[in-house]
Amino acid sequence: MTPWPPSIAFIGLGVMGHSMAGHLLDAGYPLVVHNRTASKAQDLVDRGARWASSPGEAARQADITISIVGYPADVEQVYLSPGGVVETARPGSLIIDMTTSTPSLAQRIAQEAEKRGVFSLDAPVSGGDVGAREAKLTIMVGGPDEAFQRALPVFRVMGPTVTLMGGHGAGQHAKMANQIAIAGTMLSVVESLAYAQRVGLDPAVVHSAISAGSAGSWSMSNYGPRILKGDFAPGFYVKHFVKDLRIALEEASARDLELPGLDLAKRLYERLAAEGGAELGTQALWTLYSAAE
């Protein structure tokens, strides 16, 4: 029987992970943390978290191990490398990857974990830096119900909307659907404001008017004001969004599904990254349109 509260290892303290780990610490969970850049963990350590020098060392100390890192290659390194999480996690413990990654990798991790008596979930999130900071993330989960129920109180510390989508990899497929919707919505936000500006309207006035009507959306309300202020700091990095859109197109193509809107968004974001915007937030797509002025 896992003690309550369970000890948690948290791996990856970036734009979103740092806030997520902080909420778990505030909720009273014993926390051990690891990040490639150790300095990003210092304030959490100052608040009571323990530092681990590697993902494997972190997992060895925990009942539940959570990660949110950058790319599928990073996930594979964290979990499946010699001395990684799968190899060092305690039998009976639970490992949860919250990175947006590939469904096939989530399934591989689950298969390897099962061989060692370790439970596994894939649980990517949506909500960006604001959702992470305000503990309002949407969490999409793949894996067995028993593991899901065990993780549910932990998930609810980080966000109120937590849904079991199906078996291993289903959380990642749901996140792909989420990213497809966001890509199209971001295009519409940017193009509507670009049109308003080009015809001589005040984009801020137009934004205020249309965001309250049927054109309103989370992206319009949250990213529209950032665009208007010229604030392109990352709530979600362009480089990571490009990764997500490529995964979504690969998964769609494997099933003979054409998604022309997604393909256009991917090409525009790849152009933005190539022109120096990889480290900016996704709302920086605006710069491709404003540059044409």
> What residues act catalytically?
175
Name residue 142's amino acid: G
Q: What are phi and psi of 166, to 5 degrees?
A: 155, -155
Q: What are phi and psi of 171, to 5 degrees?
A: -60, -40
For 268-287, letters b (16+ CB in 10 Å) and e give: bbeebbeeebbebbbbbbbb
Residue with tokens 């990899």: 169
Q: Please give the Cα distance from 257 to 76 (Å, whole number).
A: 27
**125, 99 in Cβ contact below 8 A?**
no
Give the single-character DSSP code of 278.
T
Q: What is the dihedral of CA 209, 212, 216, 217, to 10 degrees?
A: 130
**34, 92 in Cβ contact below 8 A?**
no
For 122-151, letters b (16+ CB in 10 Å) and e give: bbbbbbbbbbbbebebbbbbbbbeebbebb
